[in-house]
Structure 1
Amino acid sequence: MKILLSGGTGFIGQAITKLLTAEEHEVYILTRNPDKHKGTSQVHYVEWLTENASPENTLPPIDAIINLAGESINNGRWSDEQKKKIYDSRMNATDEILRIIQLLDTPPSVLVNASAVGYYPPSETKIWTEQSTERGEGFLAQTVVDWEKKALLAEDHGVRVACARFGIILGKEDGALPSMALPYKLMAGGTVGSGRQWLSWIHHKDAARAVLFAIEESVEGPYNVTAPNPMRMKEFGETLGKVLNRPHWIPAPGFALKLALGDKSALVLEGQKVLPDVLQTKGFEFAFPTLNEALRDIYA
């Protein structure tokens, strides 16, 4: 297949590109600076979101689009300016994806659009699946709701849309895990907040595989990209400490994190127990279904 990918130079985008090329697909990565990247026979860089860019005029017939573009929620404190950047970057990139779809001679068969488990309300007791009708409140939930709503407009052009509600994606060098592991490496790891909040996680390789699975197996609508065994934060920290052979003993109280991170502290102090019902119902097999397996692979 020929697959168009936005956000391809980011953490999960790189994992997806690696998987797609290993599976002998051809990848067209949308970027503002194509000259900064060296293409190959399988990976091509295409300029977009600049004044003179017209990617629709240079692309071959595209089979599928993966849209991951957007300012990372891990970048900096969530000031009003940063919140606007997080929100606007997702809306603007998706608008451009819709414009490209409309102008292609033949629209792709599917759009897999990134989303997040922040769609669901935080809870220590409830379990959320794709069938859950409740949605969260606040900045992150509203961003996710609006992002999915905009992506679904591609259906007006005959494109199947799957919204990948990613959990916390675990990788050694990027994403949330390095900052979570650092206190343990400094012999200062411990329970974050109450420790009872849920953390719905997934190994980066399984996250990439779940995106390709959605393309190949006709997944439609929202689907949760999380491992089948979410963990409470206390157990997550204990498992991380064991894998790193470091103690789990110095707690990080919630009030201190709120002072340090502001609204962004909700990413670690609040959580959702999210299960990947759609993936499992369609037969997706996780390479790393448990946290111990995932962390031991990452830190092997």
Structure 2
Amino acid sequence: MIKRVLITGATGLIGSELVRQCHLDGIAVNYLTTSREKIENTTNYKGFYWNPIKNEMDVEAFNGVTAIVNLVGAPVSKRWTNNYKKKILDSRVQSLNLLHATLQKTDHSIVHFITASGVSIYPNSKTKLYTEEDNDVDNTFLARVVSQWEATAAKFKNLGMEVSKVRTGVVLASDEGALPKLVQPIKLGVGAPLGDGEQWLSWIHIRDIAGIYLFLLKNQLEGKYNAVAPNPVQNKKMTRMIAAKFDSPLWLPNIPAFVLKLILGEMSVMVLEGQLVSSKKIEQLGYKFKFYNLDNALEDLL
């Protein structure tokens, strides 16, 4: 039975919810932070300093820990300049390399390593349902990031650990992430489907994504897992459902793809492309989703 976990990215969107669920389950949390001001020290929540850019890390973070959950990574929803693309990749790979190098030369009792990953590794498709068995990789920047992220995480097997990769869909939460960005124009009366509106959105409620991490932790499950709700929706349907919640008419035509490409540049793939992703594997292992349908998720979050 796991008693203490080390979480990187513990103060982020998913990390905060995972910490909350761990504590409810009686699991203590150590966490790594790049800000000395954010270090807390209570019995079940202990902070430790690290700096992946400078290869610095407090090895006391491993004390009493039997598993690591890695959630660290620069947000992908900022404009992709060449410098920022480098930051997106480095923030994921450098942090893993530092953890790996530090563990190699430290006495520890860690047996399970879980890392975030993304469904953006799968090629854009409107018809194919992707499972964890699919080895096709898209040719986008994000897919290349996810591939390198997963390859770096795989090295933890050499340290004798079980390795789990959580391929995360679009996380829906009230105040952060994708949902407020989708809601804002609709509330202002200028919402519209993006592109042809038929691109799939494999979404997941914030409580379920943290719930899946907790499930993998408690059952020490290794391998790749799609972390998406059982019922993906197309962009046009999600837009209509959000509009209905606010009783806001959708009177504008779809926003053309070329306009989004002009505004967002290469980053437009995030809103114009999508993947239809299966949640069957995690369900068959016994994870019970709290939010199966988008309607229930939006009801809860809005």
TM-score relative to the length of structure 1: 0.95
In structure 2, the CA distance between the partners of 1:124 and 1:60, relative to structure 1 (3 Å rule), is same
Q: Which moved more, 1:49-58 or 1:115-124?
A: 49-58
Does 1:191 pair with 2:193? yes
1:199, 1:52 → 2: CA distance? Answer: 37
1:278 counterpart residue number: 281
1:135, 1:58 → 2: CA distance? Answer: 35
Structure 1 residues 240-270: Cα deviation after superposition (integer angstroms, max 9, x where no partner): 1112322233232211111110011100100
2:154, 2:192 → 1: CA distance? Answer: 41
In structure 2, the CA distance between the partners of 1:266 and 1:47, relative to structure 1 (3 Å rule), is same
> Shift in Å at residue 96 of structure 1?
1.4
2:24, 2:242 → 1: CA distance? Answer: 30
1:141-152 matches, within 5 Å, as 141-152=143-154
Structure 1 residues 188-209: Cα deviation after superposition (integer angstroms, max 9, x where no partner): 1121111110000000000000
2:74, 2:83 → 1: CA distance? Answer: 12
Match of 1:269 among 268, 272, 285: 272
2:75 counterpart residue number: 72
1:88-99 matches, within 5 Å, as 88-99=90-101
Match of 2:294 among 274, 291, 295: 291
How many residues of Structure 1 are paired with residues of Structure 2 in the alignment? Answer: 298
1:297, 1:59 → 2: CA distance? Answer: 36
> 1:107, 1:159 within 8 Å by CA — same for their partners in 2?
no
Match of 2:162 among 143, 160, 163: 160
Counterpart amino acid of 2:270?
L
* C-alpha RMSD of the superposition: 1.5
2:45, 2:157 → 1: CA distance? Answer: 27
> Shift in Å at residue 52 of structure 1?
8.4
Gaps of 5+ in 1: none
Counterpart amino acid of 2:88?
I
> Shift in Å at residue 35 of structure 1?
2.3
Structure 1 residues 131-172: Cα deviation after superposition (integer angstroms, max 9, x where no partner): 112111121101101110110100011100000000000001
Structure 1 residues 50-103: Cα deviation after superposition (integer angstroms, max 9, x where no partner): 6584321454121110001111101x2111111111011111011112123323
Gaps of 5+ in 2: none
2:45, 2:56 → 1: CA distance? Answer: 19
1:48 counterpart SS class? strand
1:140 counterpart residue number: 142
2:131 counterpart residue number: 129
2:51 counterpart SS class? coil
Does 1:243 pair with 2:241? no
1:150-229 matches, within 5 Å, as 150-229=152-231
> Shift in Å at residue 39 of structure 1?
4.0
2:56, 2:197 → 1: CA distance? Answer: 48
> Which 4+ runs in 1 deviate beyond 6 A?
none
Q: Which moved more, 1:58-67 or 1:155-164?
A: 58-67
In structure 2, the CA distance between the partners of 1:186 and 1:118, relative to structure 1 (3 Å rule), is same
2:222, 2:148 → 1: CA distance? Answer: 17
2:255, 2:99 → 1: CA distance? Answer: 41
In structure 2, the CA distance between the partners of 1:8 and 1:175, relative to structure 1 (3 Å rule), is same
Counterpart amino acid of 2:204?
I
> 1:243, 1:292 within 8 Å by CA — same for their partners in 2?
no
Counterpart amino acid of 1:221?
G
2:154, 2:251 → 1: CA distance? Answer: 46
Match of 1:101 among 88, 100, 103: 103
Counterpart amino acid of 1:274?
V
> Shift in Å at residue 31 of structure 1?
0.4
1:252 counterpart residue number: 255
1:31 counterpart residue number: 33
2:272, 2:93 → 1: CA distance? Answer: 27
